Amino acid sequence: MSVESSSTSVAVTDGQSKNFRKPKYSRFSQQELDAWQPILTPSWAISIFTVIGLIFIPVGLASLFASESVVEVPFRYDDECLPPDYKDDALEYIQNDNINKTCTRNLTIKNKMKAPIYVYYQLGNFYQNHRRYVKSRDDKQLRNKASENDVGSCSPEDYTSTELGHKPIVPCGIIAWSLFNDTYRISSNNKDLVINKKNIAWKSDQLAKFGSDVYPKNFQIGGLIGGARLNESIPLSEQEDLIVWMRTAALPTFRKLYGKIETDIEVNEEVMLVIENNYNTYEFGGRKSLVLSTTTWVGGRNHFLGMAYILIGGVSLLLAVGFLLLYVMQPRPLGDPSYLSWNRNPGSLR
């Protein structure tokens, strides 16, 4: 209450410290910092639009050309490889282990594919991004042998059934359990085009996320069998198919690297695909494709980026021209107060 007042009177009477409350000067506290005030003048706007256009169109063209130069051969085989007898009973076909799943098809490659040719499998309508699916793994277990018993949120693929001794499954969880198990062989003129399955996973995964001393254990035994089985004598860090699979995809349609073919495929060469059609996508209406593709500096074949660049560049140039026209046709001094809202309709003031 009166506290402050009395301290004031002290301050006033005491001549020496009279201005001790005076705020200290600094350019910051007085808000007097140097300021750059860019103004969007028409010339600036026009130049910026032009520059955008001039940069974007070449970039767009370059990436479009690059993308165009990529040869991509997709082959959807989920329907194709379903024998006609099973057309109406795909589930029976896929679930019956006694039915031969091998499927052989010939493809004519229309353009020359230069090595390395990447082999992908592409799944559609497969929700690798489902919350339950994504969480169903245990990174610690994958990394360390010592954490074998660590099965975190892997249920129901955490332990083997009680008949089998309730042992921890390595790798646990439904991601690993549902590992893709179709296999491909590609040959040309009766000569195998070898698919190199090395180096298809990220190095960092192999080095740091999947232990070199962690071996698969109790995997895919008993109960429901999901997808592929793993060779128990190979450490996880070398199980590249698993590593690739475990990098879950963002959207329900995704490609994953299957391997590389390190020989060229000539123009109009006919290749024979031998597909072991094991993976059950029929149950959930998923799609399966095999994709052969070369790459360039922009990666695989996708015109979208190049088109988008060209479009944006074009629009910018158009805007630049439009503004130029406006400027020429209707020049107006900058800072003309007559354009202020209250000067435009004087009656509207309160």
Partner 1 sequence: MAEGRKRRIHFSKLYSFSCLKSPFRDGHSQIGNKGYSRVVHCNDLDNPEAVQLNYGGNYVSTTKYTAFNFIPKSLFEQFRRVANIYFLVVACVSFSPLAPFTALSIVAPLLVVIGATMAKEAVEDWRRRKQDIEANNRKVQVYGRNYTFVETRWKKLRVGDIIKVYKDEYFPADLLLLSSSYDDGVCYVETMNLDGETNLKLKHALEVTIHLRDEKSLQKFSAVVKCEDPNENLYSFIGTLHYDGKEYPLSLQQILLRDSKLKNTDYIYGVVIFTGHDTKVMQNSTDPPSKRSKIERKMDKIIYILFSTLILISFIGSVFFGVETKRDIGAGRYRRWYLRPNNTTVFYDPRRATLAAILHFLTALMLYGYLIPISLYVSIEIVKVLQSIFINHDQEMYYEETDRPARARTSNLNEELGQVDTILCDKTGTLTCNSMEFVKCSIGGIPYGRGMTEVEKALARRGKDRESEVDGGSSDFLGQNNEAVDSWHPIKGFNFRDERIMNGQWVNEPYPDFVQKFFRVLAICHTAIPDVDKESGEISYEAESPDEAAFVIAARELGFEFFARTQTSISLHELNYESGKKVDRVYQLLHVLEFSSSRKRMSVIVKNEDNHLLLLCKGADSVMFERLSQHGRQFEAETRDHIKRYAEAGLRTLVIAYRELDEEEYKLWDKDFSKIKSSVTEERDALVDAAADKMEKDLILLGATAVEDRLQKGVPECIEKLARAKIKLWVLTGDKMETAVNIGYACSLLRQDMKQIVITLDSPDILSLEKQGDKNALAKASLESIKMQIREGILQIKSAKESSDTNKGSSSGFGLIIDGKSLDYSLNKILERSFFELAISCASVICCRSSPKQKARVTRLVKLGTGKTTLSIGDGANDVGMLQEADIGVGISGAEGMQAVMASDFAIAQFRFLERLLLVHGHWCYRRISMMYPFLYLEGVEDILFSWPRILGWMLNGVLSSLVIFFLTTNSVLNQAFRVDGKVVDFEILGVTMYTCVVWTVNCQMALSINYFTWIQHFFIWGSIAFWYVFVLIYGYLSPAISTTAYRVFVEACAPSGLYWLVTLLVVVCVLLPYFSYRSFQSRFLPMYHDIIQRNQVEGIEIGLSDDELPKQVQGKLLHLRERLKQREL
DSSP 206-244: IIIIS-TT---BSTT-SS---S----TTS-GGG-HHHHH
Out of 84, 165, 337, 346, which residue is the one contacting partner 1 (CB under 8 A)? 337
Give the nearer residue to partner 1 in terms of CB position, either 29 or 189: 29
Tell me which residues in 14-73 interact with partner 1 (CB under 8 A): 18-26, 28-40, 42, 44-45, 48-49, 52, 56, 59, 63, 70, 72
Q: Which stretch binds partner 1 (CB under 8 A): 82-90, 184-192, 221-229, 233-241?
A: 221-229
Which residues partner with 288 through β-bridges? 123
**Which of the ranges 97-105, 231-239, 264-272, 313-321 carries the binding residues for partner 1, by CB under 8 A?**
313-321
Binding mask 79-108 for partner 1 (x = CB under 8 A): ------------x-----------------
Nearer to partner 1 among residue 2 and residue 106 (C-beta): 2
What minimum distance in Å lies between the beta carbon of 203 and partner 1? 7
Piece of 2-10, 163-171, 184-192, 262-270 that binds partner 1 (CB under 8 A): 2-10
Question: Which residue is it, tokens 């192999």?
Answer: 206
Nearer to partner 1, 179 or 275 (CB): 179
Contact between 4 and partner 1 (CB under 8 A)? yes
Q: Which is nearer to partner 1, 35 or 163 (CB)?
A: 35
Sign of CA pseudo-dihedral 122, 123, 129, 131: negative
Both tokens of 27, joined, read 């350019």
Kindly tell me the burial class for residue 36, based on how many C-beta atoms sit within 10 Å of its own C-beta (0-12, 13-18, 19 or more). exposed
Contact pick of 272, 312, 317, 324 for partner 1 (by CB under 8 A): 312
Q: Site size for partner 1, by CB under 8 A?
A: 117
**Least distance (Å) between residue 305 CB and partner 1:** 4
Upstream peptide bond of 171 is cis (omega within 30 degrees of 0): yes
Neighbours of 239 (CB within 10 A): 24
Q: How many residues does the chain have?
A: 350
Decide whether 4 or 106 has the Cβ nearer to partner 1: 4
- Measured CA to CA, the distance from residue 234 to residue 246 in angstroms comes to 17
Stretch 108-127 residues interacting with partner 1 (CB under 8 A): 116, 118, 120, 122, 126-127
Q: How far is the CB of 190 from partner 1 (least distance, A)?
A: 26
CB of 104 to partner 1, least distance (A): 25
Contacts of partner 1 in 254-293 (CB under 8 A): 254-257, 260, 280, 283-284, 293
Beta bridge partner(s), residue 119: 259, 292
Q: Which of residues 124-163 bind partner 1 (CB under 8 A)?
A: 126-127, 129-133, 139-140, 143, 155-157
- Encoded tokens for 154: 């892997």
Q: How far is CA 203 from CA 80, 182, 235, in A?
A: 35, 24, 15
The amino acid sitting at 66 is A
Footprint on residues 169-208 left by partner 1 (CB under 8 A): 174, 177-178, 200, 202-204, 208
Touching partner 1, residues 223-252 (CB under 8 A): 224, 226-227, 247-251
Tokens of 300: 């695989």
Distance from C-alpha of 63 to C-alpha of 302, rounded to nearest angstrom: 9
Prior bond of 252 cis (ω within 30°): no
Please enumerate in sequence order all residues whose Cβ is within 8 A of that of 122, keeping only pairs 6 or more positions apart, or say none.
74, 253, 254, 255, 256, 287, 288, 289, 290, 291
